Amino acid sequence: MTSYDFDDRHIPWQRFDEFDHLQYFILDIDRERQVLDVLFKFAGNEQIVLHRHKVLNHTFVIKGEHRLYEPNGEVKEVRPVGRYTVSPASDEPHREGGGDEDVVVFFSIRGSDGVLYEILDDDQNVIGTLSMEDFAGLHEAQPQAG
C-alpha cells in the first residue's frame, strides 16, 4: 500500500495572538446549521492553552499525532493519523498538542452560535472565550487558500 504525506505548505495558516503553538485555517462557517469547519495545526512536542470544549466537536487527524493532556500536563489520550473522534461538550479542561512533529487536525465544531471554547488559566479560572462570532470575524480577515 502506498503511503502519502499531507502537504500543508499552501494553506495560509493564521495565528491567534494570545495562543502559542497553535495555527488555524477556517474552511467554512454555516451559521444556519451552526457548524464551523476549521483546520488546527498544533506544534510538535508542545501544549496549547488550557481550555474546555463547550459544544460538540468532530475531529479527524490528517497529519501527525494529536495528543490531549490533563490540566497537570500528563498525557490523557493519543490520537494517531486517521483517527475520527466525536467529543461532546464537556466541563473537563485539557490541553492539546502534537506528537514528535506538528499535527494537523480537522475540527467540525457544531451546535451553537454562542461560546464554543472557554480559555482557562492554570488554576482553571475562565480568562476568555471563543465564540462563533469570533471565528466569523477571523474568517472574514483571513486570506483564502490558493
- The answer to the question of residue 124 being in a domain is yes
Question: Residue 121: its pLDDT value, please?
Answer: 97
* Dihedral sign computed on CA atoms, order 38, 14, 64, 66: negative
Q: Which grid coordinates belong to 84? A: 475520527
- The answer to the question of residue 134 being in a domain is yes
C-alpha 76/C-alpha 46 separation (Å) is 14
Query: What are the per-10-residue average pLDDT scores of the chain (146 residues)?
Result: 87 93 97 96 98 98 98 97 97 98 98 91 97 95 84
C-alpha 47/C-alpha 68 separation (Å) is 9
- Lookup result for grid cell 494570545: 18
Residue 110's CATH number: 2.60.120.10
32 Cβ neighbours under 8 A, 6+ residues apart: none
Q: Is the pTM of this model over 0.85?
A: yes
For the chain, what is the domain count?
A: 1
Question: Residue 21: its pLDDT value, please?
Answer: 97
- The answer to the question of residue 6 being in a domain is no
Distance (Å) of CA 45 to CA 48, 53, 82, 137 = 10, 22, 19, 30
- The answer to the question of residue 114 being in a domain is yes
Question: Residue 146: its pLDDT value, please?
Answer: 65
Strands (E), the chain: 14-15, 22-30, 35-42, 51-53, 56-63, 66-69, 75-79, 84-87, 95-98, 103-110, 115-120, 126-131
- The answer to the question of residue 23 being in a domain is yes
- Give the range of the structural domain holding residue 97, as residue numbers without chain letter: 14-139
- The answer to the question of residue 46 being in a domain is yes
Reduce the DSSP state of residue 137 to 3 states and report it: helix
- The answer to the question of residue 63 being in a domain is yes
- The answer to the question of residue 77 being in a domain is yes
